Structure 1
Amino acid sequence: MKCVIYFLCFSISVIAMNQLNAQGVQALYPGTIPNYIDGPNLQKSEVTGGIERISNVSIPTYEFFEAKGGKSQKPCVVVCPGGGYKILASSHEGTDIAKKFNELGIHALVLYYRIPDSTRQVDRKIAPLQDAQQAIRLVRKYANKWGIDVGKIGIMGFSAGGHLAATAATHFEKDYTGVDDGINLRPDFQILLYPVISFRPFGHSGSSVNLLGKKPSEDLIHLYSNEEQITDYTPKAFIVHAADDKAVPIKNSLYYVEKLSENNVAADLHVYAKGGHGFGLNNKTTKELWFDRLAEWLKTNHIL
């Protein structure tokens, strides 16, 4: 009998684990994708050095990671992987992060947003932002069903995904999806890891070219340089950057925090002396874990 009971409990445990991400990858838009040009789906995933990279994303999707147990209504974070608006670093800046949030009792939605492509979008500049706004819309729309606290919905991004997250945090007053449903698209907080913030010379030229093209107008540069779009209603921020980041200079985060401060928006900036770019959860140059600091910040701000 003991063997039977043990086997039954083990089976239930396995089933529960398998159902952790029962939703799987879902279509971001329930119907027509806005700003979409039809064509073949050339999306592919490759793993190099243990890191998964998704390219040619023309049909946006998401994956919801549910935090089990605890409060019935939990915080939720929309996670935007980086990749220079060329690919998505979907594992170490996406699913790995979502699972870490689940350990804290926080839901996470990993957003596989569209890569800007003039052959697949009428206006490639707004496609990623449309997808980020749609992700926030879904989280708010299904908050009761998914067990989400509507006052604790944040957005997070890494590198170019950090630019997207910061764009969503500074451009929420306009609905770029064209949907008029009255849903609040403002995230309650933003978490940025080695983010591209600006398309000024100290920004990241690769992300700028991939999103805006080779010769964007001054108006476009201003619009997508997020340090220039901050108001006193911009959500509070937690930011991590390494001082020796050669890909995305730390000036991006420094300028952003300066402008947040000028507008009386609370911001925590955590700077590593070393670490470079793209380290995900683990900066191998130190034993200090930025995610532990983030957990404390979430508690201090009554999000967790």
Structure 2
Amino acid sequence: MATDTPATGLNRRALLALGGAAALAATARPVLAQDMKAAGDPDETMRLWPGNPPGAPSTLPKEEVVTRNPASTVPDRAVSRIGTPMMTVFRPARPNGAALLIIPGGGYVRVVIDKEGFECARRWSEKGVTCFVMRYRLPADGWADRARAPLQDAQRAMRLIRASAAKYGIDPNRINVLGFSAGGHLAASLATRHAEETYAPVDAADRLSARPTVAALGYPVISMSAPHAHMGSRAQLIGENAAPEVEAINAPSNRVTAETPPTFLFHATDDRSVPVNNSLMMYAGLVAKNIPTEMHLFEKGGHGFGLRDAAGIPAEAWPQLFDRWAATHGWL
């Protein structure tokens, strides 16, 4: 007898029926742009939408890849003008059933693909986690519903991972999201608004839940209002002249419900780009709704430390702290 799982509403029969949707997503695999390829980059990608994304302009943005620090000995690439949102797949040698959707930051004007994406994917894939690094649409590139475009991609990504559970050896009840900075805002929006209908269903995958098992938010953009908002992210997402009610709707700390998953936060108090008050606001919103949460605030680290820039300082401990906490909630 098939049994439903509370987190996804998914049963074994439904998983088998979803093979077609997962296959459709996997057949159109745009490879990474040639100027973006680096040693160790996986070739497997999964396109999020079978056709144009929702609300597409008449001419799709043409993807641009830049190397942020050409003198660096490690890749440090950023992607902008994303017209074909997708996920890069990092398959572990021995999958343990867990999956991780990684959402890099970039102020909603770019996606910092190495520092907050591929580097994390390599770390967790070595632990047996199947990782999916998302390149999501950026709000100000002409999409009809700019503020929802990134959330549409995040919801769709989570559903496609669930639809592909059998293919990748994933437990559909052990899919986490990890987001940084503006990607932390998107991960928090997914955690708090996973059930919101942001687009018309396109295939069987859209019958699945977009709810993460747990959410991890690194130095996240949360507030959309002065004085704590990261004004660049705010302007890109909702426009410079957005009304207070629009600011409130797009602040994840205001959107926490009983269905928000357990959430882990980490931030440096000397962050001059995204004030630590953002994490404090999210923590308060979670506690007010009795959502299991843990927060770590580090004295030093600045903004955007990821893995590489945390080396040698106390903030370096955040991945281990997250792993231990997530294990108590069934992810690892």
Q: Which amino acid aligns with 1:34?
A: P
Q: How does 1:146-295 map to 2 (within 5 A)?
A: 146-179=168-201, 181-201=206-226, 202-282=228-308, 283-284=310-311, 286=313, 288-295=316-323
Q: Distance in 1 between matches of 2:252 and 2:304?
A: 20
Alpha carbons 2:95, 2:130 under 8 Å: kept: no
The alpha-carbon deviation at position 41 of structure 1 amounts to 4.3
Q: 3-state SS of the aligned residue for 1:289?
A: helix
TM-score by length of 1: 0.88
Matched, 1:109 2:132: yes
Unaligned residue ranges in structure 2 (runs of 5+): 1-39
- Distance across 2 between alignment mates of 1:105 and 1:277: 28
RMSD: 1.7
> Aligned equivalents of 1:111 and 1:118: distance in 2?
17
CA distance in structure 2 between the partners assigned to 1:114 and 1:124 by the alignment: 9
Give yes or no for contact 1:274–1:285 (8 Å, CA) kept in 2: no
Partner-residue secondary structure (3-state), 2:98: strand
Partner residue in 1 for 2:77: 52
1:81 equivalent to 2:95? Answer no
Q: Is the 8 A contact 2:159 2:209 kept in 1?
A: yes
Instruction: Give the whole-Å Cα distance in 1 for the aligned partners of 2:61 and 2:232.
Output: 24
Question: Helix, strand or coil: the match of 1:105?
Answer: coil
* Residues 9-88 of structure 1: pairs in structure 2 closer than 5 A: 24-39=44-59, 41-49=61-69, 50=72, 51-69=76-94, 71=96, 74-88=97-111
Q: Is the 8 A contact 2:224 2:250 kept in 1?
A: yes
Partner Cα distance (2:144, 2:171) in 1: 35
Contact 2:268–2:297, Cα closer than 8 Å, also in 1: yes
* CA contact 1:133–1:177 (8 Å) conserved in 2: no
Q: Which residue does 1:96 correspond to in 2?
A: 119
CA shift for structure 1 position 34 = 1.3
Relative distance call for 1:70 and 1:164 in structure 2 (3 A) is closer
The CA deviation string for residues 177-210 of structure 1, in whole angstroms up to 9 with x for no partner, is 2117421111111011100011021121110100
* C-alpha distance in structure 2 between counterparts of 1:131 and 1:62, whole Å: 10
Q: Which has more radius of gyration?
A: 1
Q: Following TM superposition, by how much is the alpha carbon of 1:23 offset from its aligned partner in structure 2, in angstroms?
A: 5.0
Report the AA paired with residue 61 of structure 1: M
| Alignment match, 1:130 | 152
Residues 21 and 66 from structure 1, CA distance in 2 versus in 1: closer, same or farther, beyond 3 angstroms?
farther
- Using the alignment, how far apart are the partners of 1:251 and 1:22 within structure 2? 37
Q: CA deviation at 1:295?
A: 1.6
> Identical aligned pairs, as a percentage?
34
The TM-score normalised by the length of structure 2 is 0.81
Larger strand proportion of the pair? 1
The letter for the 1-side match of 2:108 is: Y
